[in-house]
Structures are given as C-alpha cells and as structure tokens.
Amino acid sequence: MCGIIGYTGSQSALPILLDGLSRMEYRGYDSAGVAVLCDGKIEVEKAHGRLQNLIEKTGDGHALPGFAGIGHTRWATHGAPNDINSHPHVSGDGRFAIVHNGIIENFAELKAELEARGHTFVSETDTEVVAHLIESYYKGDFKAAVMKAVSRLEGAYALGIVCADHPGTVFGVSKAAPLIVGLGIGENFFASDVTALVSYTKNVIYLNDGEFAEVRSDDVVVYNEIGRPVEKTVSRVAWSIEAAEKGGYEHFMLKEIMEQPAAVKEAIAPRIKGGEIVLDDFELSAEELKKIRKIVITACGSAYHAGCCGRYAIESLTRIPVEVKLASEFRYEDPIIDEHTLMIIVSQSGETADTKAALEEGRRRGASVLAIVNVVGSTIARLADHVLYEWAGPEIAVATTKGFTTQLVLLYLFALYAAKKLKKLDDFEYARLLGEICSLPKRIQNAIDLNGQVIPRLAEKYHNKGSIFFIGRNTDYAVALEGALKMKEISYIHAESYAAGELKHGTIALIDDGTPVVAVCCNESLLEKTANNILEVKARGAEVLALSFRENREIIAQADDVLFVPKTETVFSPAVAVIPLQLLAYYVARANGCDIDKPKNLAKSVTVE
C-alpha cells in the first residue's frame, strides 16, 4: 500500500505535501517523492528510504516554490525501492507527473505499445507507463487525456496527476483504491487517507470506484467514468488531528494499546439503547436470521484472528455454524456459498485487497455481506450490504491493537443480537451477557493496569529468544494466534501458536531446555487440560509464561511466570486476554530496538494480492 496526496491553493504546496505524507508514512515507507508546479514547469524531488530523507533533500520544505503539487510515500510492488523507482514519475516530454497507489495489471502490454511508438522508460514501475500513456493522448485537454489513458488501465489504482500546462489543477482518480478529496477555503486537497487532510479541513468527499476529481483552488468537479459531472455528498470527519498524533507516547502502538478501553466503549455505547442491542443500519429479522444456514467470516492477519475469536461467541449463542476463512485462500477454494450464507468481512482499513476480493466472490455466489470496518468510507465499507464501523479512531501503528479489540466486541454484539432474535436465550441471560460485553472496557483497563509494570521487566527475559510458542485451547488458542502474530511482526522473533492439545502430535519435539512457551489459560472449562499441557512442555525443559486469572491457583503454581487478567465470560475472554500479549510483543520489540510503528517489510494495509 502507498499513500498519495495532492494540493492546490494559495499556500506553498511543498510543506503541505510533506506534512500529509508524514501522516501517511505508515502506509508505506520504502521511498517518498513530490512534484510541484513551479513557473510552468514540474519540479520533482524524490528519495529512497524514510520520508525524513526527502524532507532534508527539499530543504525542510523550503525548496520547490509553487502552489500546486502531488506527493507519494511508497511500499514497493513493481521495482526495487530506490530513487529511480520512487514516485512521482514523469512523462517523456516532462509535461505530466503522476503518483499512484495500487497496481496496473496490464502495464507490460501498454509499455510495449508505447515503446513501439518511440517512448523510452527509466524505471521498472507500472506507474511510469501511465504518465507516458497520458502524454500519448494529450492534445491540450488535460481531463480528456487523463480519462482516455485511464480507460486503458486494468487493475486497482488511486492516481494523482499534474500537468505543466495547467498549473492550478491537480487531478485525482480512484479505482479500487481509496481517494478522499478535502475541501478547504481557497484551497483543495486529495489524499489516500483522511489523516493527511484533517489538519486542514474536516469536509471531505469520498470518491467512488471509477470517479475522477478535477481539483482547483476554488473548485472541485467530480466526474464519473464517462466524464459526466456527478453530485457528491460532503462528509464531516468525526475526529481531530490529535487523534492521529502520538500524544506523548513513545510509539503509536503503545498509545493505541492504551486507547483500547475508550475505543471498545465507543464501539459498544452507541449500539445499546434501552437495554437492547441496536446495530446501526443493520436490521435482520428473526425470519431472515432463520434462513441463514451458515456464517462465513473472512479476513486477513489479525482481522482473521478476530474472526477466529468471534466464531466461538457466535456459534455458542446462535447455534449457527461459523466458518472462518483466510481471505487469500477463500476465493480459490470454490467456496460453498449461497443465498443462505451470511458473510462477515472483517477489515480495519477496509482496503485489504485479498479481503475485498473475498467479499466480491461471496457476493457473486449469492451471500449477503456484513462488513466490520474501522475506516469510514473505505472500499470494503462501500461494497458491503451492511457496515458496522469500529469507531476506534485512526489506527496508525502497522500492528493493529484497538482495531482488533473493537472488531471482537462488534462480533460479540452481533452474536448476542442474533441470539436474542432467534430466541436462543431468555431475557435474564441476554441481560447478563449484555452486561458482560458492557464490562469489557473496564476489564481491558484492568488488564492494562495489572500488566503495565510487570511486562517491561518480563520482556528482558524474552527479547533475545530465537523462538516463542503460544499455546491454548478453544478461545485461548484463537488468542494465541494473535499473540504470536504480534510478537513476530514487531519484534521479528519467530513465534508459533499451537492448539495446546495438538502439541504432542509432533511439534513438542521442538520443545527443549529453556524454550519459552506462553500458555493462555483463560477458558475456564479447559483449565485442567491446559494445565496438563503445561506439565508436558515443562517436562521437556520449557520455560512457561502463563496468562490467567488470580483464582487459577493450579496454573500459577506450575508456571515460571504468570500474567494476570480479570476473569471474563469465556466466549468474550479473548478481548481481555489479548491485552498482555500485545504489551509483551511491544516491550520485547522495544527491548530489541525495533521500529515498532513501521516494522520492516510491512504496511498498514496490503492493497495488493
């Protein structure tokens, strides 16, 4: 995933472009670049590596005088991350510059066609081909050349384009990649993410697939795919820029871990009215629910793990079978989906290409789709039949935390809502479980308080380990999946999650003296079984860190170290048990000196398949 930004107005463009890129650096940080219109020419600067390199190269934003321009921060797909492949790319005649988020799938054939017509290219990228394609269609009409070139493209792309002949105009194009227009006073913007705009304006327009935005300082015109102007709704961003800043924390990830009680409360509160669960615009009658023969939850990464956790609550309360599928696998397995299937699509960013593709596959086969998404107006949110927004606020750290726990509570609310509609529980049990869900913010805060001091010290013990095992059963196994991913993706220590009962069927061969094993023991009905698994690994020399509640005396006696969480209703316990695992990964990564908010090779949302 990359971040693109465009500006035109009365202020110097460069500082605004650099500021916007700094707020989108989490989208990709292999390289960055800008193109500014200066005195009828396009001036381009770009730099390999972090944005700071570009800032220094442009005199801390004082170079490149001009009032319109585009910028880009890159997560490399085509071509190694170096200066030549960095965006912006320029047409052969130097008249056009372009930045791009996404992939042009037919760039090779277009490149060959252009080379046959005498065009020569300097980079390995698909993006440079688009600049030349626009040039090849240009006869003085900027918009016509852009639309003609874009009509030839196949793939997913958000484009920002400038033309030396039209110094006050920046062009934005969106196709299966987000682009949001920001409306200012005497200035206008576009960017891949609202976080790049909200310092300047909270009035935004979300472009739909296939739309173009012709942006000038005093006017924005949005066109559809055939070039006809379309009326667009202006939305108001619900949060301030402070929400997208570190607020005194060393890393965004730690801030977002600490924000979870409030974020989870924000996800729950608006959906409880008069002691009943009200799910926004999502209304399913008992008759409609009775027609659902299967629920398929599909997602990637941590969102997939949220589905693995949520599945237990949905099946336990509604007795509707739930399958949890990796989105990247789902569409290639000839899935058994029909009009009696409800698909729940989980995605913090709402832009993950694999997850979007799975949604479209499910729709094609007749499923109705509920999306659980954090980013308002994102592609997946717009494609689904119904959306439950996480209301977690912007999540900047690449490793998700509040995005994960707010997904969990929405799955729990859905489970209880559906169980009530299907009369699977009486009013007393409904009220009791609703109380349990409403107590999650307090319990999450308690889990933070119980471990905030202990874990930094414990991290010293684990930070130089070669590998760490995370084991658990049922809901605890689902949590172990997320704990292992957190550890891998920010501390770079190999970590493996394993169903505790499965260890003895092979993997226990890897347990040696001193092998660290994190045992998640929060599922009350399985404590004894997991206790036996702890004995199994300890008998082979493992060093066990148990995660449980204070009442669990047996586990505490057996483990080498224990992390405590408050006892929680079992099917909802993952929302609390995950907290110490997030903190453990964070402090181990910190002890390793890792770049916690921007881990190597990763991006906040993977918008390529």
Contact residues toward ligand AGP (CB under 6 A) are 300-303, 347-349, 352, 355, 398-400, 489, 605-606
Collapse the DSSP code of 138 into the 3-class scheme (helix H, G, I; strand E, B; otherwise coil) and give the result: coil
Amino acid sitting at position 128:
E
Q: Give me the residue whose beta carbon is nearest to ligand AGP.
A: 301
Closest CB to ligand AGP among residues 489, 597: 489
Closest CB to ligand AGP among residues 347, 445: 347
Contact 80, 146 (CB under 8 A): no
| In the complex, least distance from residue 448 CB atom to ligand AGP, rounded to whole angstroms | 18
Closest CB to ligand AGP among residues 88, 403: 403
* CA gap 355, 378 in Å, rounded: 12
* Best CA proximity match to 471, nearest among 409, 422, 517: 517
Respond yes or no: is residue 604 known to be catalytic.
yes
* CA gap 271, 392 in Å, rounded: 14
CA dihedral 241, 243, 247, 250 (to 10 degrees): -110
| In the complex, least distance from residue 481 CB atom to ligand AGP, rounded to whole angstroms | 11
Helix (H) or strand (E) holding 583: helix 574-591
Closest CB to ligand AGP among residues 367, 398: 398
Respond yes or no: is residue 2 known to be catalytic.
yes
| In the complex, least distance from residue 305 CB atom to ligand AGP, rounded to whole angstroms | 8
Distances in whole angstroms, Cα of residue 556 to Cα of each of 67, 129, 157, 577: 64, 62, 53, 16
C-alpha 398 chain-centroid distance: 8
Task: List 483's β-bridge partners, or say none.
Answer: none
Amino acid sitting at position 277:
I
Reported residue count of the chain is 609
* Active-site pick, 2, 300, 308, 594: 2
* Active-site pick, 46, 111, 325, 604: 604
| In the complex, least distance from residue 597 CB atom to ligand AGP, rounded to whole angstroms | 11
| In the complex, least distance from residue 18 CB atom to ligand AGP, rounded to whole angstroms | 25
* Best CA proximity match to 370, nearest among 292, 422, 273: 292
Closest CB to ligand AGP among residues 475, 605: 605
Closest CB to ligand AGP among residues 400, 497: 400
| In the complex, least distance from residue 242 CB atom to ligand AGP, rounded to whole angstroms | 23
* CA gap 601, 489 in Å, rounded: 9
- 467's CB contacts (< 8 A; 6+ apart) are 493, 494, 495, 496, 510, 515, 516
Which residues are marked as active site? 2, 604
